[in-house]
């Protein structure tokens, strides 16, 4: 597609349920990032994929969070046993090369009741 696509755009779930968020980056972009945007917290780095290298998972807040990227393209962020503090907008972005422009998706708004 023309841009970074994320789904679902909105997700309401009950505490304790698992959720999956999907990101389809721009074709040919080697780098893919997941960030979390909460009110007053800015953009919190979660995980970074670059080509075939091992992902940088240093930003994942707990072992309930995981992400994978299949075939160097689509990525899925999984949150297990969701908690209310997981409520946020989860943003995906992709880029090509070092110092390349990051292109962001519209985000997935997660609400945990």
Partner 1 sequence: GNSVTQMEGPVTLSEEAFLTINCTYTATGYPSLFWYVQYPGEGLQLLLKATKADDKGSNKGFEATYRKETTSFHLEKGSVQVSDSAVYFCALESNRDDKIIFGKGTRLHILP
Give the residues lining the site for partner 1 (CB under 8 A).
31, 33, 35, 40-43, 45, 48, 50, 56, 58, 91, 93, 95, 98-99, 101-102, 104-107
Total H helices, total E strands in the chain: 0, 10
Smallest separation, CB 112 to partner 1 (Å): 22
Asked if residue 18 lies in contact with residue 79, where contact means CB atoms within 8 angstroms, the answer is yes
Please give the sequence-ordered ranges of beta strands (E in DSSP) within the chain, or none if there are none.
5-7, 10-13, 19-24, 31-38, 42-50, 65-69, 75-79, 88-95, 103-104, 108-112
Q: Which two tokens stand for residue 92?
A: 């995906």
Instruction: Name which of 50 and 80 has its Cβ closer to partner 1.
Output: 50
Smallest separation, CB 37 to partner 1 (Å): 9
Closest CA to 23 of 60, 43, 49, 62: 49
Instruction: Name which of 8 and 16 has its Cβ closer to partner 1.
Output: 8
Smallest separation, CB 39 to partner 1 (Å): 10
Instruction: Name which of 58 and 70 has its Cβ closer to partner 1.
Output: 58
Instruction: Name which of 22 and 80 has its Cβ closer to partner 1.
Output: 22
């Amino acid at each position: 597609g023309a841009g970074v696509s994320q789904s679902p755009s909105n997700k309401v779930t009950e505490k304790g349920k698992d959720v999956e968020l999907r990101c389809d980056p721009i074709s040919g972009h080697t780098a893919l990032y997941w960030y979390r945007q909460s009110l007053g917290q800015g953009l919190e780095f979660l995980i970074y994929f670059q080509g075939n290298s091992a992902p940088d998972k240093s930003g994942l807040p707990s072992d309930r969070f995981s992400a994978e990227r299949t075939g160097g393209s689509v990525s899925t962020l999984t949150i297990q046993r969701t908690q209310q503090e997981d409520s946020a907008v989860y943003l995906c972005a992709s880029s090509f090369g070092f110092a390349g422009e990051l292109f962001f998706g519209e985000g997935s708004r997660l609400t945990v009741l």
